[in-house]
Every structure is written in structure tokens, then in C-alpha cells.
């Protein structure tokens, strides 16, 4: 067995982080819990106080010390400000990726070092493989819970100091182990919504920070069907919240947001999930971040035959990836990708290994 280490585990109060700490204790390590407060809005949707109480109960159940740290200022500066900037620009950001890169595996890691930690651990569903001083990020055994999509932008140096104790387990096994150990969190519901902000009425929340400019909702042919409250409230593939209803002379198929025309401040909608404007085989991204440093050299020699995800839980689709001199990618997928959104991430895989990813700039419809 590896020599025992002091490992600081991010304790959210949920079952995943609790079982991550439990497994490390069972392996003989000195385990400390660290609970982060990253959002302090005092409203009905902020669960910070309840989460802290749940984290205390977890650590009491496990008999480990609990430390507490407030990263609310760092979160607003390094994650939330970028989140708002992307929405102002008409994009659809994914703050969980930035939260992992800047907060959970940077600010958290630095604080854990100050607590004397040799390594950190979280309840993420992912696996790490260490070979000759190089760490590889691998998809979890439980494909339905795999979180490598959200981890692709974490610095490799941080991953090298990280443990993912749940990577070999299914969610059902995690809950079973928590129940067998008598952990109160064994049946606590999974957290949902924006990283640390939680599940809440999104339009009302965003309107507290950004001013929407009303504009027309139109078909690709230019027929106006209604008015939107602001392009920032909509994203490609969105079905609910369009406020269109039945349209005379149209079928009963549902309407979907298919794109935005900033010049006219217009939201473009189409009918039917299979409309070709909702599908794309060709993506263009900004500069990529690679977990595997060898990928840059490989791309300089020839395009890569790999696979891509454009959202969490999506089955990776085989694709060809090429890069320009600035590191931006062109991605040609073998099968059509549904509703790619500028601002979201295209994450690249080779088999089970997550290689890295990049922000989608634009997608060419079929």
C-alpha cells in the first residue's frame, strides 16, 4: 500500500465527496475536509448555510477535521465575471469548467497546501493514470456520471496532485457504500444548476446583472413569430421559454432556437428537432488547452483522428481535428452534432483519455 499521506478532500456535504473521503480513510491516509463557500447571495436559492451544516455532519460521521474557506471574491473575479461577459457577447458559457480550473483545482489546491496537504481529492467521477511522471485524465467507469468534460481545462500540474476516489465506482455503488457506513448524506439529492450558484430561475437571475434588449423572433425565411426579451436568455437547441405557441399555417412540431442574428438583434427559430439548422458536422474553436503536451506536436504534423463531446454525458463522436498556428481548432465530425452553441466547449478524447478542449466559436449548419 502506498505510504499514508495528508490529503485534503473538498467536502460539499453531498454523498460523493463523503464517500471520496471515506475511501481515502479506508486506504490509511490522514484525511482532512475543506468546505468552500463560493457564493454568498442571501436569497431563497442560496444553499450555502445548509451545505455547511451537511459538510459538518459528514466530517463528524467520518471523524475527520473540517476546515472552511471563502472563495467568493475569487469566484466572482475569475468565473462569474467571464460568465457575464460571454452572455453579453451572445454566447452560452459553461462556468463549471472555469470553476474547476480556477477555484476547485487552483485556489483550493493552494489553500490545501497551507493546511499541510500533500495531495487533494474531490468527489468527481473521473480517473487518473500516472505514467513516467505524466498524468492522464481518463473517463470514469460510470459513463452516465463521467465528469471529464468539466475537468478538461484543469492544469496538468494540479491533476498530478489530485485523487479521484470515485472513478472506479458507479453512482449506485457510491450511495450503497455511504449507506453501509452510516453516512447521513447517503440519500442527499445531487446538486444541480450552475456551479455553486445552484438551481434557480435562470432568466430572472441573469436579469439582475445584465440588461436585455428586446428583439424579434424570426424564422430563417424572415417571418416574425414574436419578440424575445434579450438574446442572452436563449441558446441553440432551446425548446422551452420561447413564448411562441401555435403558429397559423405551421405543423404542431415544437419550435427550437437555432441561432442568433446580432445585427438585427433577432432570435432565429425552426420547427422540429431534426431541422438541419440545428445540426452541424463542422466546428471552429478558439485556442485549445491540452492536458497532453504531445498533442500540439501531433497536430503540427497532421490532423488527429479522435472523438469529441460538445456537452456533458454526450457519447463522444468520431472526428478529425486540425489546428492553425494560433492553436485554434477545426473539427469535422463523422456524425452530425446537435445544437452546438458558441461559448460552450468542444472536448477531445482519444479512447478513454481526455486530451483537452476549446471554446466553440461557430458551427456550420448542415
Positions marked catalytic: 99, 195
What is d(CA 166, CA 128) in angstroms, rounded to the nearest whole number? 11
Cell digits for 361? Answer: 466559436
Q: Do 9 and 119 meet the contact criterion of CB atoms below 8 Å apart? A: no
What is d(CA 333, CA 337) in angstroms, rounded to the nearest whole number? 7
Return the SS3 of 287. strand
Burial of 109 (0-12, 13-18, 19+ CB in 10 A): buried
In sequence order, what DSSP letters do the residues of 176-236 get, joined into one string? HHHHHTT-GGGGPPPP-SBTTTBS--HHHHHHTT-----EEEE-TT--EEEEES-GGG--T
The secondary structure of residue 277, as a DSSP letter, is G
Q: Do 348 and 360 meet the contact criterion of CB atoms below 8 Å apart? A: no
List beta partners, residue 330. 284, 322
Long-range contacts of 220-228 (CB under 8 A, 24+ apart): 220/258, 220/268, 220/270, 220/277, 225/255, 225/269, 228/267
What is d(CA 94, CA 112) in angstroms, rounded to the nearest whole number? 26
Residue 317 phi, psi dihedral angles, 5° rounding: -110, 130
Q: What angle do CA 56, 128, 48 make, to 5 degrees?
A: 25
Amino acid at each position: 500500500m502506498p505510504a499514508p499521506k495528508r490529503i485534503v478532500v473538498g467536502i460539499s456535504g453531498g454523498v460523493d465527496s463523503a464517500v471520496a473521503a471515506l475511501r481515502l480513510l479506508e486506504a490509511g491516509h490522514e484525511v482532512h475536509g475543506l468546505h468552500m463557500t463560493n457564493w454568498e447571495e442571501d436569497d431563497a436559492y442560496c444553499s450555502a448555510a445548509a451545505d455547511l451544516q451537511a459538510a459538518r455532519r459528514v466530517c463528524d460521521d467520518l471523524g475527520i477535521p473540517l476546515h472552511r474557506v471563502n472563495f467568493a471574491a475569487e469566484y466572482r473575479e475569475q468565473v462569474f465575471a467571464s460568465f457575464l461577459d460571454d452572455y453579453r457577447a451572445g454566447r452560452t458559457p459553461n462556468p463549471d469548467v472555469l470553476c474547476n480550473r480556477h477555484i476547485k483545482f487552483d485556489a483550493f489546491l493552494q489553500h490545501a497546501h497551507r493546511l499541510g496537504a500533500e495531495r487533494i481529492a474531490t468527489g468527481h467521477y473521473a480517473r487518473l493514470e500516472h505514467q513516467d511522471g505524466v498524468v492522464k485524465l481518463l473517463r470514469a467507469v460510470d459513463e452516465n456520471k463521467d465528469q471529464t468534460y468539466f475537468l478538461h481545462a484543469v492544469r496538468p500540474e494540479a491533476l498530478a496532485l489530485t485523487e479521484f476516489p470515485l472513478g472506479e465506482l458507479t453512482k449506485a455503488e457510491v450511495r450503497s457504500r455511504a449507506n453501509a457506513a452510516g453516512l447521513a448524506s447517503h440519500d442527499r439529492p445531487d446538486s444541480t444548476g450552475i456551479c455553486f450558484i445552484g438551481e434557480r430561475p435562470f432568466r430572472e437571475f441573469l436579469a439582475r446583472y445584465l440588461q436585455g434588449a428586446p428583439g424579434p423572433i424570426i424564422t430563417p425565411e424572415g417571418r416574425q413569430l414574436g419578440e424575445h426579451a434579450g438574446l442572452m436568455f436563449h441558446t441553440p437547441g432551446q425548446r422551452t421559454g420561447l413564448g411562441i405557441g401555435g403558429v397559423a399555417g405551421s405543423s404542431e412540431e415544437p419550435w427550437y432556437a437555432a441561432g442568433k442574428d446580432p445585427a438585427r438583434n433577432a432570435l432565429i427559430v425552426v420547427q422540429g428537432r431534426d431541422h438541419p439548422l440545428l445540426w452541424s458536422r463542422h466546428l471552429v474553436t478558439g485556442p485549445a488547452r491540452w492536458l497532453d503536451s504531445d498533442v500540439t506536436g501531433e497536430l503540427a504534423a497532421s490532423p488527429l483522428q479522435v472523438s469529441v463531446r460538445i456537452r456533458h454525458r454526450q457519447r463522444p463522436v468520431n472526428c478529425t481535428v486540425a489546428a492553425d498556428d494560433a492553436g485554434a481548432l477545426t473539427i469535422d465530425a463523422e456524425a452530425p452534432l446537435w445544437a452546438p452553441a458558441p461559448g460552450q466547449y468542444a472536448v477531445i478524447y482519444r479512447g478513454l483519455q481526455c486530451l483537452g478542449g476549446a471554446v466553440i466559436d461557430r458551427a456550420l449548419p448542415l
